[in-house]
């Protein structure tokens, strides 16, 4: 099978070159490279020509068949280049005003947004998790375009990511919306992400909520009229819907809250029919999710706590960032493949990477959110942010992990 290499090229906002010219520049750059790095952006300062440096911010390559870090540019590789520019806008579309307080009910981003730049590549999961998600969505969009009859083949465009808190579900939804916008740039001129804040919808002001749901969806329907806009709707932490329903099952009157939940579900069913919409949902609970909601989601993906391999990637990424910012003196950190090939044996080359691996094993059961705080804790508690060697920093991280484990129990 031919390798398919996806190349996402972020063009500078000020650059006036055509897409065709940018693609030509990128092709020339690739011809000069022996091999290219996958899943890590190639940044402007590393480009070989001034023309590319002037017009392009970064190039990000990924390959479905290849899980490795490098790929040789073989003749049989099909290269697909996507050129995009980042949007710098950020607007909230709906707020609730009540008793002098202002509460945000929905946020709205134009995609690809600079706010989500780099989000995708800094989320680490088991190999294949992210790719699977992209494939799901791309397939759903193609089915939608060809109008495959959903009564014959069951498919829809509601995705549910569920799993423990802090495992990156919300981030993954946002990063996915950004990625799909980039990948489908030939079909849609832009993406828009609307995040509905279910907490504020279902917390205090149920009486206001019904109106609010209507307002939000009326605005969404206007956006959907433009077939060139790809609309993502993110409903985060949908377990708050289930709570809202449960809260009113005790009373006999259908309360405001159940009306709001039902209004929301009906509206979602309504807009699902549009070819240019995708609904992303998350839940921190794995069992007690609103049944009506689960039925509507047809891609359900469990996002687990990271295993030691994913933890190793998160930690390596953190440590490399501290090398970039001159806290740790530069030193090579090997990837897991290298350690496996060595059978985890220690030599002068592998010593520090092995220590990092041991720290990763020690950090099992921590969420991505907690893991990303460990380097900061190491600095703050044990190193006072002094410049140090990798070995010294790993010792500080060891203490920080210990500290985190003890303190999370209290």
Ligand X SMILES: Nc1ncnc2c1ncn2[C@@H]1O[C@H](COP(=O)(O)OP(=O)(O)O)[C@@H](O)[C@H]1O
Closest residue to bound Mg ion by CB = 170
Interface region with ligand X, contact rule CB under 6 A, candidates 163-171, 182-190, 327-335, 374-382: 163-171
Picked from ligand X, Mg ion, none, the partner binding residue 6 (CB below 5 to 8 A depending on kind) is none
- Looking at residue 115, the DSSP 8-state letter turns out to be G
Q: Does 375 bind ligand X (CB under 6 A)?
A: no
**Angle ∠(277,282,286) on CA atoms, nearest 5:** 140
For the chain, helix, strand, coil in percent to 5 are 45, 20, 35
Q: Does 280 bind ligand X (CB under 6 A)?
A: no
Tokens of 254: 């259908």
Interface region with ligand X, contact rule CB under 6 A, candidates 119-127, 197-205, 223-231, 376-384: 119-127
Tokens of 348: 């002068």
Q: Which of 167, 257, 281, 363 binds ligand X (CB under 6 A)?
A: 167
Q: Residue 337: which residues within 8 A CB-CB, separation 6 or more?
A: 68, 69
SS3 83: strand
Q: Does 168 bind ligand X (CB under 6 A)?
A: yes
CB 166 within 8 A of CB 85: no
Picked from ligand X, Mg ion, none, the partner binding residue 391 (CB below 5 to 8 A depending on kind) is none
Tokens of 298: 């047809």
Q: In whole angstroms, how far apart are CA 308 and each of 126, 142, 229, 276, 399? A: 10, 36, 40, 38, 18
Q: Which is nearer to ligand X, 144 or 170 (CB)?
A: 170
Task: Count how many Cα atoms sit within 13 Å of the Cα of residue 130 in the half-sphere of its side chain.
Answer: 27
Q: Does 170 bind Mg ion (CB under 5 A)?
A: yes
Closest residue to bound ligand X by CB = 368
CB of 168 to ligand X, least distance (A): 3
Q: Does 125 bind ligand X (CB under 6 A)?
A: yes
Q: Which of 341, 369, 386, 391 binds ligand X (CB under 6 A)?
A: 369
- Looking at residue 404, the DSSP 8-state letter turns out to be H
Q: Which is nearer to ligand X, 169 or 245 (CB)?
A: 169
Q: Which residues in this chain contact Mg ion in the complex, by CB under 5 A? A: 170
Binding interface with ligand X (CB under 6 A): 122-125, 165-171, 282, 306, 310, 314, 368-369, 372
């Amino acid at each position: 099978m031919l390798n398919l290499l996806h190349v996402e090229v972020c063009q500078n906002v000020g650059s006036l070159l055509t897409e065709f010219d940018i693609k030509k520049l990128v092709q020339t750059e690739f011809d000069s490279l022996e091999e290219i790095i996958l899943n890590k952006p190639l940044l402007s300062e590393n480009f070989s020509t001034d023309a590319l440096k002037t017009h392009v911010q970064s190039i990000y390559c990924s390959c479905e068949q290849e899980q490795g870090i490098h790929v040789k540019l073989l003749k049989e590789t099909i290269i697909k280049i996507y050129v995009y520019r980042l949007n710098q806008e950020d607007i909230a579309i709906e707020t609730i005003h009540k008793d002098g307080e202002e509460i945000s009910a929905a946020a709205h981003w134009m995609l690809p947004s600079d706010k989500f730049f780099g989000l995708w590549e800094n989320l680490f999961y088991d190999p294949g998790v992210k790719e699977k998600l992209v494939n799901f969505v791309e397939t759903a969009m193609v089915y939608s375009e060809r109008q495959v009859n959903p009564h014959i083949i069951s498919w829809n465009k509601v995705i549910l990511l569920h799993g423990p808190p802090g495992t990156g579900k919300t981030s993954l939804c946002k990063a996915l919306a950004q990625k799909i916008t980039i990948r489908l740039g030939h079909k849609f001129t832009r993406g828009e992400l609307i995040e509905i804040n279910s907490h504020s919808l279902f917390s205090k002001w149920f009486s206001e909520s019904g109106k609010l749901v209507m307002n939000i969806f009326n605005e969404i329907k206007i956006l959907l009229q433009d077939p060139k806009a790809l609309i993502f709707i993110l409903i985060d932490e949908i377990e708050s819907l289930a709570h809202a329903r449960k809260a009113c099952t005790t009373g006999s009157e259908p309360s405001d809250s159940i009306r709001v939940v039902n209004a929301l579900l009906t509206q979602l069913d309504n807009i699902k029919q549009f070819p240019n919409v995708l609904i992303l949902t998350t839940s921190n609970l794995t069992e007690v999710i609103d049944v009506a909601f689960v039925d509507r989601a047809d891609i359900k993906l469990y996002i687990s706590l990271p295993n030691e391999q994913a933890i190793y990637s998160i930690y390596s990424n953190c440590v490399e960032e501290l090398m970039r910012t001159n806290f740790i003196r530069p030193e090579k950190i090997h990837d897991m493949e290298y350690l496996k090939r060595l059978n985890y044996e220690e030599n002068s080359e592998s010593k520090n990477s092995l220590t990092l691996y041991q720290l990763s094993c020690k950090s099992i059961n921590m969420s991505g959110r907690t893991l990303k705080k460990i380097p900061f804790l190491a600095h703050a508690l044990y190193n006072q942010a002094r410049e140090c060697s990798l070995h010294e920093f790993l010792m500080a991280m060891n203490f920080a992990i210990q500290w985190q484990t003890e303190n999370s129990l209290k």
